[in-house]
Structure 1
Amino acid sequence: MSRAKLAFVLMLIVSVMLVACNNNQDASNANDDMESDNTKDGNTQEVAEVIELDMWIHQSGEDETNYNKQRIEDFNEAHEGEIQINVEVVMDDGGSSYNDSLNAALVAGNLPDVLALDGPFVASYADAEIIAPVTDYISDEDKEDFVDSIIEQGTYNGELYSLGAMESSVVLYYNKEIFEAEGIEAPTTIEDAWTWDEFMGVAKQLTTEDRFGLNLFMNYGVGEWYTYMGAPFVWSNGGALISEDGTTVDGYLNGPESVEALEYVKSLFEEGVVTLTPSETQFEEGKAAMALGGPWIAVSAESADLDYGMMPYPYSDVPKSPSGSMAYAISSQAEHPEAAYKVMQWMTNEESTIGLSEVTGMPPARKSAFESMESYNELPKKIMRDQVVNTAHARPTTPAYPVLTDAFAQAFHAVALGEDAQSTLDQQVQRVERELRRFNK
């Protein structure tokens, strides 16, 4: 291009820019005049910017996933022009895939604003600064409506980090036909729950050559199920998995109460009332008279047209029962934490908890939801409600929980195989203590 042409092009560009600037100035002046006129008329209007939030929910059963997605759509509709949620369903294979995705997002600096997480791992997420506290956002009235175990599960170092949309429990299911034939009367209240001795006696009575007295679902594998289902044996015996201040497991995980509890579990296998290798539908087929299982067993039993009932979890000194499930939290990287909390609150409000309970069969996380759902005010589900409200015990809130739960699960499995409880727990204490040293500095 010649110098003359280049000069012409540059002059043209400058002219266009000057015209644009003048037009912008004119438009700005016009807008100023309009704003001035609107102010005089008392009609000042501000156009609010829509806050966009990213949200992760874990992949679950189709009905549960679809329900959660629908609730998010309902939120977007109710908050149109204010908040928009962009949701992503993230793979959760029951292992570490979901956690791996979160860790990768943390390192990359692109965590979602709102995320689902497994309740027992709240302390680990909080300590890793993946999630932020919501203590300042929740009202006292709203907090009071959640069952105690949900608040206990979501609290770490005195700060509330998560809220659950549903709770869970493990009850003692029983085959009504078998119980009637054997002349056994099932307890219907926590006050009448069987002691360990009574439980063992009935389990032995119900065990025959072609039927086990009990199913513990050992086929689920060595993992969180063993801690979730099995830890109440320790708690009801006055024991604990970790010290109250969370600094040590020595003298707790391997303390006399814990050892005695696992020796009792061991005796169930030694007496032959339960097997390490039950079939997938052992209870539903009548091959086990009782089953210590979660809410999902009611669903499979009903599908099999089994006439079943529920009893409270058996105990040693004080009735205790399992608790804990998926919860919601706010990312530590959220730019709009108050808006993110509105999402968290929506997904755990009374309407959400009732709907989720109806879809999944899991007990709701709110007291008001229990009052609204007639099925939980009568047997058999009344047993589950009474446990959630009165005997539910949250798993330990410690950043070392992933190692602690694996240690307990390994010990539970070992004693089921016939290993000595004391030596097994002593060995597991060593590895958990090593992990705790990372957080006790």
Structure 2
Amino acid sequence: MSKARLIFGMMLIISLMAVGCSQNQDVVNESDSNKEEVAGVIELDMWIHQSGEDETNYNLERIAAFNEAHDSEIHINVEVVMDDGGSSYNDSLNAALVAGNLPDVLALDGPFVASYAEANIIAPVTEFISDEDRADFVDSIIEQGTFNGELYSLGAMESSVVLYYNKEIFEAEGIEAPTTIEEAWTWDEFMAVAKQLTTDDRYGLNLFMDYGVGEWYTYMGAPFVWSNGGSLISEDGTTVDGYLNGPESVEALEFVKSLFEEGVVSLTPSETQFESGKAAMALGGPWIALSAENAGLDYGMMPYPYSEVPKSPSGSMAYAVSSQADHPEAAYKVMQWMTNEESTIGLSRVTGMPPARKSAFENMESYNELPKKVMRDQVVNTAHARPTTPAYPVLTDAFAQALHAAALGEDPQEVLDQQVQRVERELRRFNK
């Protein structure tokens, strides 16, 4: 998950609710392809989202390589669809759905798989994936892509949130950083160190609250609930009452609230608070490693702190087959190619994001040594996918609003009880 995806996630809330009734026909880069089979070659349309230049160019190179390797069988007509970090990409999908010209293969943000599946934008691919191939993906990728027992998506890259730390500050304070999941700090230990590291001109911790009330708060904050034995929604996905507002969730947000009450974290951090040494630790995504390196900071990584059992964030962009694909098996071959070992290794090197396959981790030396080994261990062992429910757009907003309210000092129980009511209304749309 990149910073742009965090913003896109929340904008998806409104647009997905309008799927099936939108009359917007302004599809960006709309293809004129009729997906016809010409001279025995299956023509497929594919949409990828506009991302960073290096990532986009790499994906285009992989698609060109697919066409070369399958020149007598399948040909992909690829389009890079506008993604402004808002709702533009999803607006294009909505318009294509209404017009009946969805691409055969498309990129989507992993946590919203259930919403796309419920809206009949994507189709299951369970029948096409082999047991061997399925087993090579880290568990969180399969969990993220599964809805109602069917596999809908596969990701080429994963993500995680680790606890970054300033090595110079830690050495000066005589603090030893844990480097394995077994040594990860408990909440009490985490709080004690954060308080020790907080001074008049430095915060002990940065939670990147400047990203705004959105998907980042759920992505970063939900593991506090999960590691405390809680859940955002029932296992069968029918209710959030007693889960989103359950005692484990309330206790988790009470802990988040205490971080702000103790003054160890700021509601309004500067953009480079951690990189400039104004925060000793930072609970951040893979992109923080890049910004820290660019700033010349000597940093390390620690596992995500926990309450009862270690849990860590996960989820990023994935690929799926359209419900309107005339050749779903051929479309799956494209999806498989874009998520195979070679693709995942190359994408990881280009983006800095952890790969989605176990075999890729084994063949990337940087993930077998510190500091990236911490990220690998989390992706393989403690990663927890966000809930796969068609009500996720409303659920994630509800949790994000509650976490923000806790940071502002409001009572978590009262706020969560209020948010439960709106999510329950949304769930009633699907519990029929």
- The TM-score, its normalising length taken from structure 1, stands at 0.89
The answer to whether the aligner puts 1:414 opposite 2:393 as a matched pair is no
The answer to whether the aligner puts 1:235 opposite 2:211 as a matched pair is no
Post-superposition Cα deviations, 1:197-243, rounded to whole Å, max 9, x if no partner, equal 00000000000010000000000111100000000000000000000
The answer to whether the aligner puts 1:218 opposite 2:223 as a matched pair is no
What residue number does 2:294 align with?
303
Task: Give matches, 1:157-306, under 5 Å.
Answer: 157-306=148-297
| Whole-Å separation in 1 of the counterparts to 2:83 and 2:407 | 29
Of 296, 312, 315, 2:303 maps to 312
What residue number does 1:75 align with?
66
Residue 98 of structure 1 aligns with an amino acid whose one-letter code is Y
What residue number does 1:100 align with?
91
Of 325, 331, 354, 1:334 maps to 325
| Whole-Å separation in 2 of the counterparts to 1:93 and 1:182 | 43
| Whole-Å separation in 2 of the counterparts to 1:366 and 1:214 | 31
The answer to whether the aligner puts 1:325 opposite 2:316 as a matched pair is yes
What residue number does 2:360 align with?
369
Post-superposition Cα deviations, 1:165-223, rounded to whole Å, max 9, x if no partner, equal 00000000000000000000000100000000000000000000100000000001111
Shift of 1:81: 2.3
| Whole-Å separation in 1 of the counterparts to 2:315 and 2:272 | 24
What residue number does 2:395 align with?
404
User: Secondary structure of the residue that 1:225 maps to in structure 2?
Assistant: helix
Of 361, 380, 387, 2:378 maps to 387
Shift of 1:97: 2.0
What residue number does 1:12 align with?
none
What residue number does 2:80 align with?
89
Residue 151 of structure 1 aligns with an amino acid whose one-letter code is I
Aligned pair count reads 395
| Whole-Å separation in 2 of the counterparts to 1:92 and 1:214 | 32
User: Secondary structure of the residue that 1:67 maps to in structure 2?
Assistant: helix
What residue number does 1:109 align with?
100
Identify, as 1 or 2, the structure richer in helix.
Answer: 1
Post-superposition Cα deviations, 1:83-105, rounded to whole Å, max 9, x if no partner, equal 11111111223332222211111
Task: Give matches, 1:2-21, under 5 Å.
Answer: none
Shift of 1:48: 4.5
Percent identity for Structure 1 against Structure 2: 90
User: Secondary structure of the residue that 2:44 maps to in structure 1?
Assistant: strand
User: Secondary structure of the residue that 1:107 maps to in structure 2?
Assistant: helix
User: Secondary structure of the residue that 1:117 maps to in structure 2?
Assistant: strand
| Whole-Å separation in 2 of the counterparts to 1:158 and 1:246 | 12
| Whole-Å separation in 2 of the counterparts to 1:153 and 1:94 | 21
User: Secondary structure of the residue that 2:281 maps to in structure 1?
Assistant: strand
Mean CA deviation greater in 79-88 or 334-343: 79-88
Shift of 1:307: 0.2
Of 424, 428, 436, 2:427 maps to 436
Residue 284 of structure 1 aligns with an amino acid whose one-letter code is E
| Whole-Å separation in 2 of the counterparts to 1:284 and 1:269 | 21
Residue 417 of structure 1 aligns with an amino acid whose one-letter code is L
What residue number does 1:50 align with?
41
What residue number does 2:55 align with?
64
| Whole-Å separation in 1 of the counterparts to 2:318 and 2:228 | 28
Residue 222 of structure 1 aligns with an amino acid whose one-letter code is V
Residue 389 of structure 2 aligns with an amino acid whose one-letter code is T
Residue 224 of structure 1 aligns with an amino acid whose one-letter code is E
**Larger Rg, first or second structure (1 or 2):** 1
| Whole-Å separation in 2 of the counterparts to 1:241 and 1:93 | 29
Post-superposition Cα deviations, 1:383-408, rounded to whole Å, max 9, x if no partner, equal 00000000000000000000000000
User: Secondary structure of the residue that 1:56 maps to in structure 2?
Assistant: strand
Residue 324 of structure 2 aligns with an amino acid whose one-letter code is Q
Post-superposition Cα deviations, 1:325-371, rounded to whole Å, max 9, x if no partner, equal 00000000000111101100000000000000000000000000000
**What is the alpha-carbon root mean square deviation over aligned residues?**
0.8
* Structure 2 unmatched runs, 5+: 1-37
What residue number does 1:31 align with?
none
Structure 1 residue ranges (4+ consecutive) displaced by more than 3 angstroms after TM superposition: none
The answer to whether the aligner puts 1:359 opposite 2:350 as a matched pair is yes
Residue 414 of structure 1 aligns with an amino acid whose one-letter code is A
